[in-house]
Amino acid sequence: MPGELIPITLFLSIAVVAFAFRYFINREKMAMIERGIDPGIAKSIPKPFLSLKTGLLLVGLGLGLLVAMICVKSSFGSSLSGQEPLQVTAIYFGCVLVFGGLGLIVSYVVEKKWMDKQ
C-alpha cells in the first residue's frame, strides 16, 4: 500500500509545482502590463558574459578535480582504507568548490574591467 502512494504523491507534487510556477509567471506578467511595461522586454535583454561565466566555472571545476586527483594520489598513494575515503571525498569537494569559486571571481574581474572601459 505505501509503495503505491509514492508515485501518486510524486505526480501530484510535480503537478502542483508546475501549476504554481505558471500561475506566478502569469501574475508577474499581468503586473507588468498594469504598470505599462512590455512583458516581452525582459527576455530580450542580452547577457553577453553568461557564456564566459559558465566557461570559467566549468574550467575551474575541471581544474579543481585535477588538483584533487593529484593531491589524493600524492597523499594516499594507491592504498585507501579506513578513514581515508572520507578525507579523499573532502579533498575532492574542497578543490571543486575552491576552483569553481576562483573561476567565478575571474569572470567578475573580466566583466568589471569591460564595464569600466564602457
The answer to whether residues 34 and 9 belong to one domain is yes
**Using alpha carbons only, what angle is made at residue 103 by residues 97 and 99, rounded to the nearest 5 degrees?**
30
Give the per-residue pLDDT at 48: 73
pTM value > 0.85: no
Q: What is the mean pLDDT of each run of 10 residues along the chain (118 residues)?
A: 81 95 92 85 68 86 86 72 68 86 88 85
Q: Are residues 34 and 83 in the same domain?
A: no
Please give the tally of structural domains in the chain: 2
Task: Look at residue 107 in the predicted model and tell me its pLDDT.
Answer: 87
Rg over CA atoms, the chain: 23
28: containing domain: 1-45
Cα separation, 79 vs 90, in Å, equals 17
